[in-house]
Structure 1
Amino acid sequence: MLVHICCSVDSHFFLQKLQRDYPGEKLTGFFYDPNIHPYSEYQLRFLDVQRSCKILGIDLIEGEYDFEAWMIAVRGLENEPEKGARCEVCFDKRFDVSAKKALDLGETKVTTTLLVSPLKSQEQLKRSGDAFYEKYGVEFIAVDYRSGGGTQDQSRVTKEQMLYRQDYCGCIFGLTMQRDQQGRLMDEMFSCVSNKILPASIEERVEMYRDRMQLEDKKVEYKIIKEKFLNYRQFSFKVISGKSEIVPAYALSYSTLPRKKAQGNIEFEFENIHYFSREEIRFVTLEFFNSTCGYEYKTINELIFNQPNINEELKFRNTLTSTNYDLTLIVIIEKIPKTKLTIMLDAKTYEDVREKLIII
């Protein structure tokens, strides 16, 4: 039996039940989910599915990540709600590819772990599955492992196995609507031009889940815990000298500007820190940044495209300020300007939760 897999939270519990109910069947997992976006989220979910299938002793095949073809398939349905017409088209596409994969492998049965997801309509899935049974002759196994306390049992298994519990279905349209309804920043879609790993980002989770697989290979005991913290994302930053000259500059992480724009001059310098006339803004030279941190950046552009990690930036911030909760805009610049400056910064701090790996 070919089992289409969407994520480890659904698949681990679902595959365990299939192994119990179909002991004579060789189960083969098929991870085909071009709807998942961004690609880093796809990598994270596939990574956890690989671990799950390894634990259960199930062969796993990865399908093509043909995201552009998926986008074309759902065109015009971008604003459909969860369980609406877009989801049905999404199921059809994945069933079509899964059914053809089953035929290629000589399988006569196919099913999907989407059946156990409380976010999906089982009736919708059955309609798609039955349609492809008629078309291809591949039987769709429509099992119900949600009823009779199944969802609660699935939650228990997820916690016991420390599976990656994503908080959105997967596609960009569902994510956008969900974050709008929650009034939350859609920080899954942010990444630095330098590929610096941001706090509580998908990339940070990918690294952590890879580390935990290495610990498991070495038989090292660990736990995954959660911690609440103040997160930060910077959308844009610009320093303008005079009326129009753009000055290369870098805003340190956790820099904020209440009204997003300030104009003024640098008034004085004390211990290599240059103080601006407005909004508690401070300037330091690239030379001072290098000498304090042991870096060798030659230009601000080099710094922008090869940023230090967040912990190093916070360490430098702490050398300039008197509190761990400082949100002052700190600007790194090659030379201190003597002209009038216009500073524009759009950034956000917000409460967030991140996962952390601890060895016990």
Structure 2
Amino acid sequence: MLVHICCSVDSHFFLEKLQKDFPDEKLTGFFYDPNIHPYSEYQLRLLDVQRSCNKLGIELLEGEYDYESWLQAVRGLEREPEKGARCEVCFDKRFTTSAKKALELGEKKITTTLLVSPLKSQEQLKRVGDEFYASHGVEFIAVDYRSGGGTQDQSRVTKEEQLYRQDYCGCIFGLTMQREQQNKLMDEMFSPISGQTLPSSIEERLEMYTTRNALEDENKEYKIVKQKFLNYRQFNFKLISGKKDLLEAYALSYSTLPRKKAQGRIEFSHNGIHYLNREEIKFITLLTYNNLSNSNYKTLKELIYNPLDFNKERILRNTLSGSDYDLTPIIVVNEIPQTKLSIYLDAKAYEDTKEKLIIFS
């Protein structure tokens, strides 16, 4: 039986149940999810599914990540709700490809871990699966592992196996509406030009779960826990001297302005820190930045495109302000300007939750 797999949270529990209920079937996993966006999220889910299948002794095949063709398939359905017409088109595409893969492998049965997802309609999945049985001759096995306490068992397995528990289906359109309803920033879509790994980002989680897998290979004990923290995203920033001269500048992480704009002049300096006469904004030179952070940036452009690790920059902020909770704009420039300055800074600091890897010695 070919088993279409969407994520480890659904697949681990689902595959365990299939192994018990279909002991004579050789199960083959098929990870085909071109709907998952961004690609780093796709990589993260695949990584965890690979780990899960290895634990269960199940072969895993990876389908093509043809995201562009998926976008074409759901065009015009972007604002459809979860379990609506867009989901059905998405199922159609994934079932068609899964059915073709099953035929290619000589399999006569297919099923999908989507059946156990509380975000999906089992009736909708069964209807699509039956249509494929009629058109492709591949039987769709519509098992129900949700009822009878199945959802609770799935949560237990997820916790015990320390699986990656994503909080959206993978679809950018579903995520957009979900975050709109939650009135939350869709920070999953942030990818800074610097390539810096942002806190609680998909890239940070990918690094953490890769480390987790390495720890398991080394038989080292670990625990994944959640913690609340103050997160930060910077949308845009620019510094204008006089009326229109754009200055090369860099704003440290956790720099915020309540009204997104401030104007003023440097009022005084102390210990290499230069203070604007408005909004408590601080300026330092690139030389001071290098000295305090033990770095060796030759130009501001180099700093902008290849900044320090986020945590190292937090340490630098603490050195300059004396607090881990300081949100004052700290701006790095080549030379301290003596003209009237206009600072445009659109950024947000907000309460968030992230995962942390605890390694036992």
User: In which range does the TM-score fall when normalised by the shorter chain?
Assistant: over 0.9
Q: How many residues align?
A: 360
Matches within 5 A, 1:33-52: 33-52=33-52
Q: CA deviation at 1:324?
A: 2.2
Matches within 5 A, 1:175-324: 175-324=175-324
Whole-Å separation in 1 of the counterparts to 2:158 and 2:47: 15
Whole-Å separation in 2 of the counterparts to 1:357 and 1:327: 27
Whole-Å separation in 1 of the counterparts to 2:324 and 2:218: 37
Q: CA deviation at 1:341?
A: 0.8
> 2:117 maps to what in 1?
117
Q: Unaligned 5+ residue runs, structure 2?
A: none
> 1:77 maps to what in 2?
77
Q: CA deviation at 1:296?
A: 1.3
> 2:3 maps to what in 1?
3
- SS of residue matched to 1:199: coil
Whole-Å separation in 2 of the counterparts to 1:124 and 1:41: 25
> 2:135 maps to what in 1?
135
Letter in 2 for 1:245: D
Whole-Å separation in 1 of the counterparts to 2:74 and 2:346: 33
Runs of 4+ in 1 over 3 A off after TM superposition: none
Whole-Å separation in 2 of the counterparts to 1:343 and 1:256: 11
Whole-Å separation in 1 of the counterparts to 2:291 and 2:147: 63
Whole-Å separation in 2 of the counterparts to 1:319 and 1:57: 51
- SS of residue matched to 2:324: coil
Whole-Å separation in 2 of the counterparts to 1:191 and 1:68: 19
> 2:93 maps to what in 1?
93
Whole-Å separation in 2 of the counterparts to 1:125 and 1:323: 53
Whole-Å separation in 2 of the counterparts to 1:354 and 1:220: 22
Q: CA deviation at 1:141?
A: 0.6
Offset from partner CA, 1:48-103 (integer Å, 9 cap, x none): 00000000000000100000000000000000000000000000000000000001
Paired-residue identity, %: 73
Q: CA deviation at 1:267?
A: 1.2
Whole-Å separation in 1 of the counterparts to 2:119 and 2:323: 44
- Using the size of structure 1 for normalisation, the TM-score is 0.99
Whole-Å separation in 2 of the counterparts to 1:290 and 1:221: 38
- SS of residue matched to 1:192: coil
Q: What is the aligned-residue RMSD (CA, Å)? A: 0.7
Whole-Å separation in 2 of the counterparts to 1:101 and 1:322: 59
Whole-Å separation in 1 of the counterparts to 2:90 and 2:325: 45
Offset from partner CA, 1:141-173 (integer Å, 9 cap, x none): 111111111111111111110111111111000
Whole-Å separation in 2 of the counterparts to 1:117 and 1:192: 32
Q: CA deviation at 1:321?
A: 1.1
Letter in 2 for 1:74: V
Letter in 1 for 2:302: E
Q: CA deviation at 1:295?
A: 1.3
Q: CA deviation at 1:323?
A: 2.1
Whole-Å separation in 1 of the counterparts to 2:153 and 2:269: 63
Q: CA deviation at 1:223?
A: 0.6
- SS of residue matched to 1:33: coil
Whole-Å separation in 1 of the counterparts to 2:13 and 2:148: 14
Q: Unaligned 5+ residue runs, structure 1?
A: none
